[in-house]
Amino acid sequence: MSGKSLFDKVWDMHIVASETEDVPAILYIDLHLVHEVTSPQAFDALRTRGLTVRRPDLTLATMDHSTPTVPINSLQELKVISEPEAFEQIIQMEKNCEDFGLKLRGFDSDERGIVHVIGPELGATQPGKTIVCGDSHTSTHGALGALAFGIGTTEVCHVLATQCLLQRKPKTFAVNLVGQLQPGVTAKDIILAIIGEIGVDGGTGHAIEYRGEAASRLSIEERMTICNMAIEGGARTGMFAPDDTTFEYIAGRPLAPSGTAWDTSLSNWRLLPSCDDAKFDKEATLNISELKPMITFGTNPGMVIPVDGVIPTPSATDTGFAKALDYMQLEAGQPLAGTPVDIVFIGSCTNSRLSDLRAAASLFKGRKVADGVRALVVPGSAKVKRDAEAENLPAIFQAAGAEWREPGCSMCLAMNGDFVPAGKLAVSTSNRNFEGRQGKGARTVLASPLTAAASAINGVVSDPRPFI
């Protein structure tokens, strides 16, 4: 019998009741991340049934999706600037956390931020944990060797009430990364290239493990960017094996183990990487030495080309492809570089960490945002904001003509006052370019912070490499 993969080890450690043909497995959940959009109905269901939250200590709550990214000084001011539905979600989240005894990282918390940013930075995300959230991009936490995936509102209720979840075991998919990143090419380009290669359904029914010598050289924040978008390739989750880079990242964080508990945890974490003879149900390899900066051109993340490439020509029978180009107001056979840009958004749970902001600032320094372009830079958390301010990054952005905002999901999903007007083209560091994702009629191209910054400076979709 072959050895176990990282995924298999973590899965097996959390089985409460085994899967059968008729019934999914029952998994124990180590950490439940909760935000204001997918939790209201779940809390209402608890009230209706007279149930409590089983493990408040394993539930981390924040507000991120609906929160405005402009400064808020009062509840009345929040009500004035927020959409009615968003305001109600925020108020209800505060009430739900108070009623059920949960600590909320709210407006008055110096630990607030995007849920997939604050989990790792607080040290709550740890190797070998099972982590769930009512959000598709929960796979982000797999960067630290956790088994993390998004769940629906009904499942949010199940986990709140029982700290367990019904789940079918996915298959395994090894994505082997080899080579060395070239200047101007980033982790965002790696994951866009992977999705372009395997397709938006290539990972369906699988848990991906990103492995290989190139994977081990990536920082934790780079790994988070890659795992964040595993779902966009159809996968249930994405994971990296924990290593010394992981342990150094976690050590000393507020919710990380300490003392003898740290020693015990470290010993256990070192046992998690896949066995040398582990077998995977599917494999793919990407040589990152050959990568160029990548950018999307259509209405899903798999419609992606090198920034200096040309838009492919669809087959005569591919009506979906033609429809996407029509929506994006682009033509097959033409380059995307040079296309006029209206808005640039640097932020989201994909690319709003300090390293992302440093990368963008390195291009903006001493330069200006092009006339007619609106550029927003939105930190992923209050801590990222403080750290960026300590490095004087906001001054660089503002001197260039970009807006420096408060933490939140912002323009990723256009439900908090930040949106792309109809027909306008946005270069975005977020994770989804679906029709209307950033606003009704908005046209989105996904790219790295470097490509986004270069495009803001030039006023057209641009290759960042001449700036490096």
Q: Say what the pLDDT of residue 77 is.
A: 85
Distance (Å, whole) CA 81 – CA 68: 8
Q: Are residues 368 and 221 in the same domain?
A: no
Distance, in Å, from the CA atom of 409 to the CA atom of 419, rounded to the nearest integer, reads 11
SS3 at position 365: coil
pLDDT confidence of residue 1: 62
Residue 189: partners with Cβ closer than 8 Å, 6 or more residues away = 291, 292, 293, 294, 448
In 10 A of CB 201, how many CB atoms?
12
**Is residue 349 domain-shared with residue 434, that is, in the same domain?**
yes
Tell me the per-residue pLDDT of 295-348, one tens digit each, with 9 for 90 and over.
Answer: 999 999 999 999 999 999 988 889 999 999 999 999 999 999 999 999 999 999
Domain co-membership, 309 together with 440: yes
Looking at the fold, whether 98 and 205 belong to one and the same domain comes out as: no
Residues 371 and 441 in one domain: yes
One-letter amino acid at 438 equals: Q
Domain boundary among 268, 290, 312: 290
- Is 56 domain-assigned? yes
In this structure, what CATH number is given to the domain that contains residue 186?
3.40.1060.10
Give yes or no for a contact between 221 and 355, defined as CB atoms under 8 angstroms apart.
yes
Q: Which residues on adjacent β-strands are paired with residue 164?
A: 28
Give the separation between CA 416 and CA 302, rounded to whole angstroms. 27
Q: Which domain holds residue 229?
A: 171-290
Q: Vertex 91, ends 124 and 85: CA angle to 5°? A: 105
Q: Could you tell me if residue 429 is inside a domain?
A: yes
Q: Do 153 and 179 share a structural domain?
A: no
pLDDT for 2:
80
- CA 444 – CA 430 distance, rounded (Å): 9
Q: Residue 321 corresponds to which tokens in the numbers above?
A: 């492809």
Q: Does residue 130 share a domain with residue 222? A: no
Question: Which two three-digit tokens encode residue 101?
Answer: 């005894």
**Rounded-to-integer distance, Cα 455 and Cα 402, Å:** 12
Residue 303 located in a structural domain:
yes
Residue 208, in any domain of the structure: yes
Helix (H) / strand (E) element for 187: namely helix 187-198
| Other CB atoms within 10 A of residue 402 CB | 25
In this structure, the answer to whether residues 364 and 444 fall within a common structural domain is yes
List, for residues 144-186, the tens digit of each pLDDT value.
Answer: 999 999 999 999 999 999 999 999 999 999 999 999 999 999 9
In order of 192, 304, 308, the CA distances from 294 in angstroms are 7, 7, 9
CA contacts within 13 A on the Cβ side of 346: 31
| Residue 452 and residue 306 share a domain | yes
Instruction: Say if CB 159 and CB 29 are below 8 A apart.
Output: yes
Report the domain count for the chain: 3
Residue 310 falls inside a structural domain: yes
State how far the Cα of 155 lies from the Cα of 132, in Å rounded to an integer: 9
Residues of the chain with pLDDT under 50: none
With tokens 């290989």, the residue in question is 212
Helix (H/G/I), strand (E/B), else coil: 91: helix
Task: Please answer whether residues 382 and 122 qualify as being in contact, where contact means their C-beta atoms are separated by less than 8 angstroms.
Answer: no
Q: Which of 167, 194, 214 is the last residue of a domain?
A: 167
Token code pair at residue 110: 């110096």
The single-letter DSSP state of residue 144 is G
Question: In DSSP terms, which residues pair with 47 in a beta bridge?
Answer: none
In a domain, 233, yes or no: yes
Domain boundary at 257, 290, 323, which? 290
CB 412 within 8 A of CB 432: yes
Strand order in the sheet with 130-133: 104-105, 59-62, 31-34, 130-133, 147-150
Looking up residue 388, the CATH number of its domain turns out to be: 3.30.499.10
Find the Cα–Cα–Cα–Cα dihedral 119, 149, 238, 465, rounded to 10°.
Answer: -60
Cα separations in angstroms, 306 against 230, 295, 320, 347, 426 = 19, 6, 21, 21, 17
Is residue 1 in a domain? no
- Among 341, 357, 363, 369, residue whose Cα is nearest residue 457: 369
Together in a domain, 161 and 179:
no
Q: What is the pTM of this model?
A: 0.98
Residues 124, 30 share a domain: yes
Q: Are 231 and 28 in contact (CB under 8 A)?
A: no
Task: Evaluate whether 327 touches 435 at the Cβ level (below 8 Å).
Answer: yes
176 in the same domain as 162:
no
Other Cβ atoms within 10 Å of 217 Cβ, number: 13
